[in-house]
A and B are shown apart, each in its own frame.
Chain A
Amino acid sequence: MSSGRCAACRYLRRKCTEDCILSPYFPSNNPQRFVSVHRIYGASNVSKLLLRLPIHVRAEAADSLYFEAQCRLEDPVHGCVGLVFMLQQQIQAAESQLVKTRVQIAVMKSQAQHPQPREAESSFNNPFLRHFDNDANLSFSNQISSGFI
């Protein structure tokens, strides 16, 4: 970097060479980015990690290291793992809701296909559908409470 040192070399108070591994990913206009990463991983570990990667993926790796470092600074106990667990819980809740909804659809379709005549039909207001719907709701609730879902 002929125009000046990168954020990493400035922080580490060293000469920033042309082949500095960190300079493309820690520009001097964002010093906080390197400070965060250095606090969690250390400059040496970051350099080693980036050196082991092909050049075309190093930018992504630097971004993900910065993201994880920020997570760890904000939550020193859980880091970004807290976010992973939260997302896993959200997935479980969404899956559960989806199963319930699909069961409801199956019940409703079953109602429509196999109506059980219990009362005389009224041509104006069909009460047997309403009655049957109540029964379906009960069986759906029973399915939930009995652990079907």
Chain B
Amino acid sequence: MGGSSPCASCKLLRRRCAKDCIFAPYFPSDEPHKFAIVHKVFGASNVSKMLQELPILQRADAVSSLVYEANARVRDPVYGCVGAISYLKNQISQLQMQLAVAQTEILCIQMQQQESALPTQIHQDDCKPFLLANNNNLDSISQYLNFASSSNVIQDPADLKRESFWT
């Protein structure tokens, strides 16, 4: 790649592409946008330093993640990848709430089935508080879901930082 056709990096940087060019294996000349976006966000010199500090086997993965991050940053200059992380965490919270609602519904159905199966052994009054409590929970959970889905709340990146790494 170094002899006849410079890699995308050297083409953009307008320099001779050496045989041991660190970028050449990961930024082929037929994908110029890939290096362009990484260079725009991180800078060629920083990318070169990052790759040099990694074992060769890990460099392809590193380049993929850098391209992903750079794309995210260009799409959303304020939040970058953090925007995607925040969105995904919200999705997980909503799914967990829906799962809790569904599991509560199963408990209610089971309680009702047990009630109808053993009417003389279990007094209905014994189940009522439990059923009422779960129905109230379902209402409040539904209200919470409506709030979560209607608002555009994005978590404070500082909170995401604390959750993710300082555990």
Does chain A bind chain B? Answer: yes
A68 to B42, CA, bound (A): 12
Stretch at the interface among A9-17, A18-26, A97-105: A97-105
Interface string of A89-102 (1 = CB under 8 A from B): 01100110110011
Taking CB atoms, residues of chain B closer than 8 Å to A65 are 80
Checking B84, B102, B113, B158 against A129 with a beta-carbon cut-off of 8 angstroms, the contacting residue is B113
* B102→A95 contact, CB < 8 A: no
A-B contact count (CB 8 A): 143
Q: Is A31 an interface residue (CB 8 A)?
A: no
Chain A interface, number of residues (Cβ within 8 angstroms): 52
Taking CB atoms, residues of chain B closer than 8 Å to A149 are none
Q: Is B77 an interface residue (CB 8 A)?
A: yes
Interface string of A63-78 (1 = CB under 8 A from B): 1111110111010111
* B106→A81 contact, CB < 8 A: no
* A98→B95 contact, CB < 8 A: yes
Query: Which of A52, A53, A81, A130 has the most CB atoms of chain B within a 10 A radius of its CB?
Result: A81
Quick one: closest B residue to A127, CB to CB? B117
Checking A64, A102, A124 against B82 with a beta-carbon cut-off of 8 angstroms, the contacting residue is A64
CB of B118 to closest CB in A, whole Å: 7
* A41→B65 contact, CB < 8 A: no
CB of B79 to closest CB in A, whole Å: 5
Q: Is B112 an interface residue (CB 8 A)?
A: yes
* A80→B43 contact, CB < 8 A: no
* A77→B99 contact, CB < 8 A: no
* B68→A81 contact, CB < 8 A: yes
Q: Is B81 an interface residue (CB 8 A)?
A: yes
Quick one: closest A residue to B114, CB to CB? A129
CB of B133 to closest CB in A, whole Å: 19
* B89→A41 contact, CB < 8 A: no
* A residues 15-73 touching B (CB-CB < 8 Å): 39-42, 44-45, 49, 52-53, 57, 60-61, 63-68, 70-72
Taking CB atoms, residues of chain A closer than 8 Å to B64 are 81
Checking B69, B78, B161 against A70 with a beta-carbon cut-off of 8 angstroms, the contacting residue is B161
A57 to B99, CA, bound (A): 35
Quick one: closest A residue to B42, CB to CB? A41
- Name A's B-contacting residues (CB within 8 A): 39-42, 44-45, 49, 52-53, 57, 60-61, 63-68, 70-72, 74, 76-84, 87-88, 90-91, 94-95, 97-98, 101-102, 104-105, 108-109, 111-112, 124-126, 129-130
